[in-house]
Chain A
Amino acid sequence: MAMAQPSLFDQVVDFASRADPYPLYAELRRTPVSRADDGSYVVSTYQEIVALLHDPRVSSDRRHRADYAEDEDEFVPGLPPSFIGLDPPDHDRVRRLLTRHFGPPHDPGRITSMTADMADIVADLIGHLAGRTSCDLVEDVTYPFPVTVICRLLGVPREDEPRFRVWADAIVSSIDPTTGDLAARKRRRLHAAADLASYFGELIDAGRDRPGNGMLAELVADDGPEGRLSRAELMSNSSLLLIAGHETTVNLISNGMLTLLRHPQVLQRLRRQPALSARLVEELLRYEPPVQFLPNRTALDDIEIAGTIIPRGGQITLVLAAGSRDPEHVPDPGCFDPDRPDNEHLGFGGGIHYCFGAPLARIEAQIALPELVRRLENLRLAADPPPYRPNPLLRGPAHLPVRFDRIAPAPATRSRDQRITEAAAPAGVRTPRYRTVPAIMLS
């Protein structure tokens, strides 16, 4: 028998498709629920993805998978899964405890109080490019910026970056099916995850003796009505926050710059009109999302959807990037249009696992993109497509080589804080519009 052609989803995963998976997504959508070569169910249309994101029969806990064995090396011994891999009520409890130190109602000013700092970090990184006419935007700006921000937010020493970068890279690449067979990848992930977790264990213990700043210190000393996370829970979840807190944002901003450079008229508009950044970032999340799909969901019951029955124990992959470009949901989906009204996208997922860091990622991109296009004069791509990172899930350029004429000076005043606040997604009272849209827009 001849070798069967790989499934469409396996073709997406193939590195050859990394620069432009969107034609494959269009083919995938013709069969809303298809099968990958490993038997998992691949869902690629908007309505079906939204339905499964809100379906209590879908679990995020790998221990429910039909092929899960108790003795499998799925988790670091002694460490619980982070909340991204838990179901309610455990998921909800961890998320609530983390949210107490990240956003409203308990800590409404957490993100906004960091915006001035964020603007300074971006301005400094760009300032370092003075005198040059080319750079790698990833290495010089879009990677160091979110890393610095997440370190400050959590209270992780910035100078430890070379240490945790090794573990983060190993963990992220282990999600990538192209980097070896499952067993080998699991071993690598476990090893790196254990190292990263014990690094956080050290930080937590040090923080007990000498309380520092940031979320981690507050979580260690939390005295809320529901108590606090255990040391082990804190180790798993701070590992997650550190990695998810920058990997995705790096790609959001890199993808954003790449998209702007491919749409020079939009780039020029953003230069003139920095307040465009709020809508621009929403359209980026739809058009070039940093998280392309969610693997590792499991059916707890037989689920009939779009004429297919996903059996109990079946593994489900939700292809968010395909859903956000579903022509049944959004007109002219292949067009990058920051003026799109009612832009409901799957860029942050949806349901109870809706991206925890969404407000932070939004603000970071809303700050970095206008500043980059304003200060890098006559900016153009030096390579298109740029070289991509191998990962098909957390997709983005490995490098973004660009040329420019010169670096414009940083603004003399601090008025940009105010501008950024205005540009951010509406705060405070939600506008009525959002009450009628699917819960996906509500974090």
Chain B
Amino acid sequence: MSPGCLPPLAATLRHDGFTGSLTLIGDEPYEPYDRPPLSKQVLDGWVPAQRTALPVPGDLDARWRLGVAATGLDLARKQVLLADGEEVAFDRLLIATGVRPRPWPDPAQAALDGVFVLDTRDDAARLQQRLAAGPRRVLVIGGGFIGSETASACRDLGLAVTVAERGPAPLAGALGRVIGAIAADMQRDHGVDLRCGVFVTALVGDSSGRLCSAELSDGSTLDADLAIVALGSQRNVEWLDGSGLAAGPWGVGCDSGSRAFTLDGMVTDDIFAAGDVARFPHPLYNYEFLALQHWGNAVAQAEIAAHNMISAQTDRWPHLAIPSFWSTQFDTEIKSVGVPSFADEVVITQGSAADRRFVAAYGHRGRVTAAVAFNQAKWLEFYQSLIERSAPFPPDFRGVDEPADRRPVPAGMPDRPIPGDQATVEVTGHNPGERRAALVRRRHRPGGRLPEQRRDGHGTAQSL
């Protein structure tokens, strides 16, 4: 689910004059709620998990089908199948099923008492209780945004915490190795036992099924009674199997107006996708298909989708917003505009990395594609305008708080995964009217290791 999508979607539909019937389907029993606090204020106890409800306009006149999952889509009959057997007919459908955390790959180890993933507000409430009870040591598996924010909340609570990150630095998947190194210093300064370049090979329970330790790839063993699995996300697309839509591990492909593609690569006119699950082409990024798993994208794209769902062909809008996200961790506000992973170089343009107050601009082949601020967010509108204008990189201006050294360095981005790699397609038929593509499902290797591509978590973008 990406519940963040639903209020802006529904509100925009009604605001734009849609008077027909509106059905909102979600597998969680709650009305839409705000997820970002779940890894921040909820964990350290500042905000109760149930106080995260999103404002929903009172006059939506919508039918809510909460607590029941969609299990199938019949494009020909224009019906959504629900888990309770009901079929919901539609003229237009928006797919906003979002993502869920990638689970710990070994189900028996994942079931140990003390092993958590952070997805729903129920997860956050349970985790908050366990953190408040004072575990001896928390192991955070994965140093992306969710892992880092969770580790920060643990330190705020005074808990001993180890972060195990497979890559060279925390946040390196989203922000690159150079800025990741600054995040690493930040974590260590805040007392995190940060271990990079290692991964957890096994979670070990005691005789009563409680987590007691973890084995790491460097051969060491770590005592921990609570583990938080923060290995990125996977998309909620299984319910679309066999629907004929271009839906797979990469998400749901759609055009920049949110219209979903079929597996044949044709655009549909009545099926739309938005939010974490959608993957769409962005002209500023070489028309590559982006999957943006950020709060702001869910809102902006849902508004575009809503508009297009009730507009004539010539009146449709493209989703051309500049991506943006933020994270709060270790007393630092990290904010980003653009797509940092779409970069080969980075340069600090304002402030000081040593003080952890700076702006870094990212460049791809000589133009500005992103900027990231640590505790300097108020300058980012300027950088957004540079991105919008495809301004030259490195940016050349005289401004306040200039660092002595303004030479760009390689950003140290990991190789960008190619999600399409995960799709195997067969084309059948001979006559043009009969040609069709079909997805061949690859099975995961039995007992397989973690999928290699897990850099698509909160706050990062992938391109197809």
Instruction: List the interface of chain A (C-beta within 8 A of B).
Output: 50-51, 54-59, 87-89, 92, 300-301, 312, 350-352, 354, 428-429, 431-433, 435-436, 438-439
Minimal beta-carbon separation of B293 from chain A (angstroms): 15
What separation, in Å, do the CA atoms of A57 and B51 have in the docked complex? 41
B41 at the binding interface (Cβ < 8 Å):
yes
Residue of A nearest to B321 (CB): A436
Give 13 A-B contacts (CB < 8 Å), ordered by A residue.
A50-B381, A54-B380, A54-B381, A55-B379, A56-B359, A56-B379, A56-B401, A57-B397, A57-B398, A88-B357, A352-B379, A439-B380, A439-B381
B377 at the binding interface (Cβ < 8 Å):
yes
B442 at the binding interface (Cβ < 8 Å):
no
B401 touches A87 (CB 8 A): yes
Render B293-331 as a binary contact track against A, CB cut-off 8 A, 1 for contact.
Answer: 001100110000000000000000000000000100000
B351 touches A88 (CB 8 A): yes
Minimal beta-carbon separation of B135 from chain A (angstroms): 25
Shortest beta-carbon contacts, A-B, top 6: A56-B399, A54-B381, A87-B400, A88-B401, A301-B398, A57-B399
B4 touches A432 (CB 8 A): yes
Q: Which residues of B contact A50 (CB under 8 A)?
A: 381
Q: Which residues of A contact B380 (CB under 8 A)?
A: 54, 439
Residue of A nearest to B350 (CB): A56
B398 touches A312 (CB 8 A): yes
18 more A-B residue pairs beyond the given contacts A57-B397, A87-B400, A352-B378, with a C-beta to C-beta distance below 8 A: A54-B381, A55-B379, A55-B382, A55-B399, A56-B400, A57-B398, A57-B400, A58-B400, A88-B376, A88-B401, A89-B355, A301-B398, A301-B399, A429-B47, A435-B296, A436-B299, A438-B381, A439-B377
B108 at the binding interface (Cβ < 8 Å):
no
Q: Which residues of A contact B349 (CB under 8 A)?
A: 56
What separation, in Å, do the CA atoms of A184 and B379 have in the docked complex? 36
B215 at the binding interface (Cβ < 8 Å):
no
Q: Which residues of A contact B34 (CB under 8 A)?
A: 432
Q: Which residues of A contact B355 (CB under 8 A)?
A: 89
Q: Which residues in chain B, 356-393, are within 8 Å of chain A measured between CB atoms? A: 357, 359, 376-382, 385
What separation, in Å, do the CA atoms of A351 and B379 have in the docked complex? 7
Q: Given the known inter-chain contacts A432-B54, A435-B296, please indicate yes or no for A88 contacting B381, CB distance below 8 A.
A: no
A351 touches B378 (CB 8 A): yes
B41 touches A429 (CB 8 A): yes
Q: Which residues in chain B, 30-65, are within 8 Å of chain A measured between CB atoms? A: 34, 37, 41, 47, 51-52, 54-55
Minimal beta-carbon separation of A5 from chain B (angstroms): 35
Minimal beta-carbon separation of A436 from chain B (angstroms): 6
Task: Find A301's partner among B51, B379, B397 (CB 8 Å cutoff).
Answer: B397
What separation, in Å, do the CA atoms of A433 and B54 have in the docked complex? 10
B352 at the binding interface (Cβ < 8 Å):
yes
Minimal beta-carbon separation of A440 from chain B (angstroms): 9
Q: Which residues of A contact B37 (CB under 8 A)?
A: 429
Task: Find A435's partner among B55, B326, B351, B376 (CB 8 Å cutoff).
Answer: B326
Q: Which residues in chain B, 256-308, are within 8 Å of chain A measured between CB atoms? A: 295-296, 299-300
A89 touches B352 (CB 8 A): yes
Q: Which residues of A contact B300 (CB under 8 A)?
A: 436
What separation, in Å, do the CA atoms of A110 and B81 have in the docked complex? 54
Minimal beta-carbon separation of A295 from chain B (angstroms): 18
Q: Which residues of B contact A87 (CB under 8 A)?
A: 400-401
B378 touches A435 (CB 8 A): no
A56 touches B381 (CB 8 A): no
**What size tier do the contact residues of chain B reach?**
20 to 34
Residue of B nearest to A60 (CB): B400
Q: Which residues in chain B, 379-435, are within 8 Å of chain A measured between CB atoms? A: 379-382, 385, 397-401
Q: Which residues of B contact A439 (CB under 8 A)?
A: 377-378, 380-381
Q: Which residues of B contact A352 (CB under 8 A)?
A: 378-379
Q: Which residues of B contact A89 (CB under 8 A)?
A: 351-352, 355, 357, 401
Residue of B nearest to A56 (CB): B399
Residue of A nearest to B4 (CB): A432
Q: Which residues of B contact A351 (CB under 8 A)?
A: 378-379
Minimal beta-carbon separation of B12 from chain A (angstroms): 14
Minimal beta-carbon separation of B353 from chain A (angstroms): 13
Interface centre among A55, A351, A432, A436 (most CB of B within 10 A): A432
What separation, in Å, do the CA atoms of A42 and B349 have in the docked complex? 27
Q: Which residues of A contact B51 (CB under 8 A)?
A: 429
A300 touches B400 (CB 8 A): yes
What separation, in Å, do the CA atoms of A56 and B351 have in the docked complex? 11
Q: Which residues of A contact B379 (CB under 8 A)?
A: 54-56, 351-352
Interface centre among B34, B350, B380, B400 (most CB of A within 10 A): B400
Minimal beta-carbon separation of A182 from chain B (angstroms): 25
Interface centre among A51, A54, A58, A312 (most CB of B within 10 A): A54
Minimal beta-carbon separation of B191 from chain A (angstroms): 14
A300 touches B398 (CB 8 A): yes
Minimal beta-carbon separation of A217 from chain B (angstroms): 26
Minimal beta-carbon separation of A298 from chain B (angstroms): 10
What separation, in Å, do the CA atoms of A88 and B385 have in the docked complex? 21
B299 touches A51 (CB 8 A): no
Q: Which residues of B contact A88 (CB under 8 A)?
A: 350-351, 357, 376, 400-401
Residue of A nearest to B54 (CB): A432
What separation, in Å, do the CA atoms of A174 and B168 have in the docked complex? 57
A51 touches B381 (CB 8 A): yes
What separation, in Å, do the CA atoms of A350 and B51 have in the docked complex? 30
Minimal beta-carbon separation of B314 from chain A (angstroms): 25
Residue of A nearest to B335 (CB): A439
Q: Which residues of A contact B52 (CB under 8 A)?
A: 429
Q: Which residues of A contact B296 (CB under 8 A)?
A: 435-436
Minimal beta-carbon separation of B296 from chain A (angstroms): 6
What separation, in Å, do the CA atoms of A432 and B41 have in the docked complex? 14
Q: Which residues of A contact B382 (CB under 8 A)?
A: 51, 54-56
What separation, in Å, do the CA atoms of A354 and B397 have in the docked complex? 23
What separation, in Å, do the CA atoms of A439 and B295 have in the docked complex? 16
What separation, in Å, do the CA atoms of A429 and B55 have in the docked complex? 13
What separation, in Å, do the CA atoms of A89 and B374 have in the docked complex? 13
